[in-house]
Chains A and B, each alone.
Chain A
Amino acid sequence: MRQIAIYGKGGIGKSTVASHLSYTLADQGLKVLQIGCSPKNDSTRQLLKDFPSTILDVLRKKEFDYDAVEMNEIVYESPLLFKNGGKVYCAESGGPEPGVGCGGKGVVEAIETLTRLNIFENLHCDVVIYDILGDVVCGGFSLPIRQGYAQETYVVASGELEALYQVTNVSKAIKRFEVRSGSKLGGLIINLRRVKNELKIVKDFADKIGTQIIGIIPYSQVVKECGGQGETVFRLAPDSEEANIYRKIGERVFNNKNLVVPKTIDFEDLYQWWLRYLE
């Protein structure tokens, strides 16, 4: 079983990337479990018809008595039909009640609950995908890296400074825990945002930290429209250029053997480096 983490800063499109990745892998006949690890609990929106109950919500209702939790209360099978008998299962970690408690707790509780209920084995999962908010690389949101659940991490980024900074933060976490967890960086998935010289920025940046670019998704209204309707481009625009790009990204992730411990860069250096591309 492979466990893959997709990190990205809020708004960069990581749920869209993760959902399309799950879809592509399922189309190859694999059993995929996608775990949304963002308090917003809408990671799996494009794979499900309805909003699932979050693991944290279910646990709260049961006063954190794990043994009272049933698998079908927290894991939902996607009603979409995949080729070759593949399946997508969805779970959402959930987050704190607005204003109280800890933001990363959802991730910790979600993984512990799924592990305790033996869900990965019971569902015969081939792949587990964690879709994780990367703005706050705290103890909670870094759990899949720190504990080595996810041996491969991909970061969704653009040429924007904030997005690249977020990659360096995730890279620092990978480097910090590498010895103990074995978790590595598999590459960057680029969502273009119409920044000046953006292609050059992201390519040079990938070189700079010693990783590769898995795929580049153009700035696209098609993706936005499909996302707005709660659908993937595979369903609403299966012949579009965007659908092809997402398929290729899925294949490249599936075949990827190039896992690295990335180089880290301090923000000040990153900023000075990045500024040069705007001239």
Chain B
Amino acid sequence: MRQIAIYGKGGIGKSMVSSHISFALANKGLKVMHVGCDPKHDSTRLLLMGKMPKTILDTLRKKNFAIQHVARDEVVFESPLKLECDGKIYCAESGGPDPGLGCGGKGVIEAIETLQHLNVYRELELDVVLYDVLGDVVCGGFSMPIRQGYAEEIYIVSSGEIEVLFAASNICKAISRFTSRSGAKLGGIIGNLRELKNEEDILNKFAELLGTHVVGFIPYSEIIKECSGKGMTLFQLAPHSKECDAFQKLTDGIWNNKEFSVPKSINFEDLYAWWKKLVAKRNA
């Protein structure tokens, strides 16, 4: 079983990207579990046809955290999407704190522990578990998939914008910190383009700086926005589009990836100076 974590800054499109990856992996005949680890709990929306499942944290709260009273079908939901093969997609959402109270990362910890306790990965005979994790706050909770070695491969969704690169470099720091104990490594950068000039070049150079590579680029596109608004993936609504093709290629790139690394840590000041120089050259 492969466990993959997709990190990225809020708003970068990591749920959208990771849903397409889950679908494309299942379409290869694999049994995939997609675990949304963002308090917003809409990571699996595109896989459940716009429906929002009950979160693990909500279910636990209702049962006063008596984990032994939680049944699998209360926290894991099968996607109704049709595949071309015997693959399957299962969905779970960690959930988050009641607005204003408690801890943001607790949902991630509770979610993974509950799924472990229920032995879900084995019972469903999964081939892949994919964690979609908010990367703005790399605290103990949100870094759990990296820290405890659940996910051995990490991918970071990024655009060429400086704020997004900051968040990406923060996630890399967490990977370097825990790699010797957890074995988690960086599998690469997923470029989600935002219409910056020479953005692919910025991202390729950024990957080089970290000692990794870009596994795939997703073009900026109105079609993606529209499909996402309708609660579907492009595999349902625009299967012959070039965007859909990009998601297929990205997924193949991840599935066949052999290049894993411990990323170099770069501090914000150095990263910002580097980025400014690159952009100045570009504008010259």
Contacts and interface: CB of A to CB of B under 8 A. Distances in A.
A binds B: yes
Interface of A: 9-12, 15, 38-42, 45, 50-51, 95-104, 133, 135-142, 145-146, 161-162, 165-166, 169-170, 172-173, 176-177, 194-196, 224, 227-230, 267-268, 271, 275, 278
Nearest to A172: B99
B137 A169 contact: no
A139 B102 contact: yes
B9 A10 contact: yes
Contacts of B141: 103
B246 interface: no
A230 B276 contact: yes
A137 B97 CA distance: 7
B86 interface: no
Interface string B245-284: 0000000000000000000000011001000100100000
A141 B104 contact: yes
Interface string B117-161: 000000000000000001011111111001100000000000001
Closest 3 CB pairs of A and B: A10-B10, A11-B11, A99-B174
A138 B174 contact: no
A145 B99 CA distance: 11
A135 B105 CA distance: 11
Q: Mostly helix, strand, loop or mixed at chain B's interface?
A: loop
Nearest to B10: A10
A141 B100 CA distance: 8
B191 interface: no
A99 B100 contact: no
Interface residues of B, number: 56
Nearest to A267: B52
Given A41-B268, A275-B229, A278-B229, A96 B101 contact: no
Contact of B143 (A50, A100, A165): A100
Contacts of B279: 228-229
A136 B100 contact: no
Nearest to B160: A228
Given A102-B103, A142-B99, A42 B177 contact: no
A193 to B, nearest CB: 9
Interface of B: 9-12, 38-42, 50, 52, 96-105, 134, 136-143, 146-147, 161-164, 166-167, 170-171, 173-174, 177-178, 196, 222, 225-226, 229-231, 268-269, 272, 276, 279
Contacts of B174: 98-99
B222 to A, nearest CB: 8
Contacts of A45: 272
A101 to B, nearest CB: 6
A11 B170 contact: no
24 contacts: A10-B167, A11-B163, A11-B164, A12-B11, A39-B136, A39-B137, A42-B162, A51-B268, A96-B138, A98-B173, A98-B177, A99-B140, A102-B140, A104-B103, A133-B137, A136-B136, A137-B97, A138-B101, A139-B97, A169-B99, A224-B161, A230-B272, A230-B276, A278-B230
Contact of A139 (B39, B103, B146, B163): B103
Contacts of A9: 10-11
A208 B90 CA distance: 35
B9 A11 contact: yes
B203 to A, nearest CB: 15
Given A275-B229, A278-B229, A136 B39 contact: yes
Contacts of B230: 275, 278
B277 to A, nearest CB: 12
Contacts of A229: 276, 279
A176 B100 contact: yes
A42 B102 contact: no
A99 B178 CA distance: 8
Contact of A162 (B11, B97, B137, B170): B11
Given A40-B163, A135-B134, A275-B229, A96 B100 contact: no
Contacts of A176: 98-101
B139 A135 contact: no
Given A10-B9, A103-B141, A268-B52, 15 more contacts: A9-B11, A95-B137, A99-B173, A99-B178, A102-B105, A103-B138, A104-B103, A136-B96, A136-B104, A136-B134, A139-B100, A162-B40, A194-B222, A224-B161, A228-B162
